[in-house]
Structures are given as C-alpha cells and as structure tokens.
Homo-oligomer: A and B are copies of this chain.
Amino acid sequence: MSESGAAVRNTRQRSAVSALLAEVEGFHSAQDLHAMLRDRGERVGLTTVYRTLQGLADAGEIDVMRPPGGEHLYRRCSEGHHHHLVCRACGRTVEVAGPTVESWADRVAAQHGFTDVSHTLEIFGTCPTCTP
C-alpha cells in the first residue's frame, strides 16, 4: 500500500462533478451542485459529492470559500491563484489577482521560519449596484 497502486479511479460520478464544475459560473455549495446533478439526470449521492469536492480541493483543482453564512462554497479554480471580492448585499463575486499579496504572504511567513505556506484572502464590500 505504498506505491504503484496509487489508484485514483475514474468513475462516472467523479466525471459528472468535474464536468459540472467546468460549466457553472461562480461559487456553489455542495448541496447546490448535488441538486444540479440530479436535475441533469445524473444519479449521484450527496455523500459522494462531498467527498469528490474534498478530493478536488485537496488536489488543488478547485477553490473553497467559507463565507460567514455557513456553507462551504466550491468553484473550479483552474489556473493561477486569485482571490475574491464579494458583495455583502447581492453576493456578486469579482476575481482579483494580487501578486503583491502573494509575495508579501510568502515573505512574512518565511521571516518566521514557516514553510509550506498557503493563504486565504477574501475582501468584502458593497458593490456599486447595491450602494444607495
């Protein structure tokens, strides 16, 4: 159980989740995605959706956001590393990239001797549309 048989199998359900994530825009909760799959006629268990999403998140193929609201939101986070600017009122999400922040975080962590560094950054505000 050490090598060779790494064994990550290619299943119909896994493909379905990946395919769905490739199509939808923005963030969606696990339950949300599960519902969409059902609508499409794909028969996938909720537990499997959760597990698949976790796996994808571990593999770094998708992005996880934990809004104050409660549920985790997942999104296909293909290329590059970026953060999100979220409207408090309407939930609209804008992607932002910040090389500055990346390097700053890495530098600060390195100064303290930390290795294997990652970070989470979310910006909240009220978007123009929602400003009276």
A interface residues (Cβ-Cβ under 8 A, vs B):
66, 68, 85, 87-88, 94, 96, 98, 100-101, 104-105, 108-109, 112-128, 131
Contact = CB atoms under 8 A, between A and B. Distances in A.
Given A114-B128, A118-B124, A119-B124, A100 B104 contact: yes
Contacts of A112: 85, 94, 96, 127-128
B100 A123 contact: no
Contacts of A114: 85, 87, 123, 125-128
A115 B122 CA distance: 15
A74 to B, nearest CB: 14
14 contacts: A85-B108, A100-B100, A101-B101, A112-B127, A112-B128, A113-B128, A113-B131, A114-B126, A116-B125, A117-B124, A118-B123, A119-B121, A120-B121, A121-B121
Contact of A98 (B104, B115, B125, B131): B104
Nearest to A88: B116
Contacts of A88: 116
A72 to B, nearest CB: 9
A96 B108 contact: yes
Contacts of A113: 127-128, 131
